Structure 1
Amino acid sequence: MSISLQPIVTGMNGGPEAIQQNFNNVKNELERMNGSVVEIPKEQFTALNGFSVNNNTWKSLIFKFDSFAIIYFEGYIGNFTLKEWTNREVLSIPKSYLGGLTKFANFGDNKRIADDAKQLDIDFNPDKAIVGIYNRGSYWNDSGTCIRFAGILYN
């Protein structure tokens, strides 16, 4: 939030008007920041590269504001085999949900440990609207794991 407020001192000329202008500036900024919440329907998730996506486990919310959005993903991928140290695109969503925002920054670390102690990195590419994983050294044979991440979308 970036607002310019006029300093107001006791006895200044135009003090009430300056107070009203400061109030209007704060009100306008709060209205500008007033966002909306969009839930991506589970039917909109598309599995890629042989992964299976259990649509009943997927949930994604996008909290949209004027110049940025906060995105949250959660769900389960399964039935995949990956060699050690492998990047793979897992699923996609329609880019229209991103509102033209093209950059993404994770909240926190993107490294995860699956239930069976295998390590992976989770990545979201807003240019393609694709979620990917990077297998960090373990062989995954007919495996599955939960994917969960949140971050900010911006330009």
Structure 2
Amino acid sequence: MSISLNTIVTGMNGGPEAIQQNFNNVKNELDRMNGSIVDIPKEQFTPINGLTVDSNSCYCRIYKFNNFAIITIGASVGSVTMKSWAFKEAVTIPKSYLNGFSKFRNFKDTRQITDDGWLYDSNFDVTKGLLTLYTRGNEYNNKSLGLDVAGILYN
């Protein structure tokens, strides 16, 4: 939180106005920080490219503020059949939930691991409302994978 406040001294000309301006600055900053929370219903998750999705595993919560939002999103996808070192678009959500944000930055590494110890990456494309999957050194034959992403949306 960054607020610029006016210095006020005893007997200052315009002191009451400066005090009021300081209160307004604090109120405006608190209003700016006060956001809203949006939960995307699991029925809004659509698997693509021949994958399936366990709708009971789908979650997305967006913490919206004036100029940015924090998003946590995930889904369990099945029927993953891919060569090693391959990219696939996996699951979409309606872009209307993203309020026109055009950029996304992960909070953590995109790398995930299967029960077998295989590495893969999941990511989120804000311009398409899309969870993606990138296999690493293993070939996947009808596997199920969890895609989990958290980060910040901004312009």
User: Common fold, TM-score beyond 0.5?
Assistant: yes
- 1:112–1:121 contact (8 Å) kept in structure 2: yes
Q: Separation in 2 of the partners of 1:116 and 1:51?
A: 20
* Letter paired with 2:52: S
* Letter paired with 1:66: N
- 1:104–1:154 contact (8 Å) kept in structure 2: yes
Residue 9 (structure 1) shift = 3.8
Q: Helix, strand or coil: the match of 1:54?
A: strand
Once the two structures are superposed, the pairs formed by residues 11-22 of structure 1 within 5 Å of their partners are: 11-22=11-22
Residue 135 (structure 1) shift = 0.5
Residue 80 (structure 1) shift = 1.3
Q: Helix, strand or coil: the match of 1:31?
A: helix
Q: Separation in 2 of the partners of 1:98 and 1:151?
A: 13
Unaligned stretches of 5+ in structure 1?
none
Aligned to 1:104: 104
Residue 145 (structure 1) shift = 1.4
Query: Where does structure 1 differ by over 3 angstroms across 4 or more consecutive aligned residues?
Result: 9-17
Identity %: 55
Residue 46 (structure 1) shift = 0.4
Unaligned stretches of 5+ in structure 2?
none
**What's the TM-score once normalised by structure 2's chain length?**
0.92
* Letter paired with 1:37: I
- 2:80–2:145 contact (8 Å) kept in structure 1: no
* Letter paired with 2:91: L
Q: Separation in 2 of the partners of 1:88 and 1:36?
A: 32
* Letter paired with 1:119: L
Residue 60 (structure 1) shift = 0.5
Aligned to 1:36: 36
* Letter paired with 1:26: V
- Equivalent pairs counted in the alignment come to 155
Q: Helix, strand or coil: the match of 1:57?
A: strand
Residue 18 (structure 1) shift = 2.1
Residue 42 (structure 1) shift = 0.6
Range moving further from structure 2, 108-117 or 49-58:
108-117
Report Cα offsets for 1:95-153 as digits up to 9, x if no partner: 10000001000001111112221111111111111110110111111101111111001
- 2:131–2:147 contact (8 Å) kept in structure 1: no
- 1:115–1:145 contact (8 Å) kept in structure 2: no
**What's the TM-score once normalised by structure 1's chain length?**
0.92
* Letter paired with 2:56: N
Residue 2 (structure 1) shift = 4.4
2:66 is equivalent to residue 45 of structure 1: no
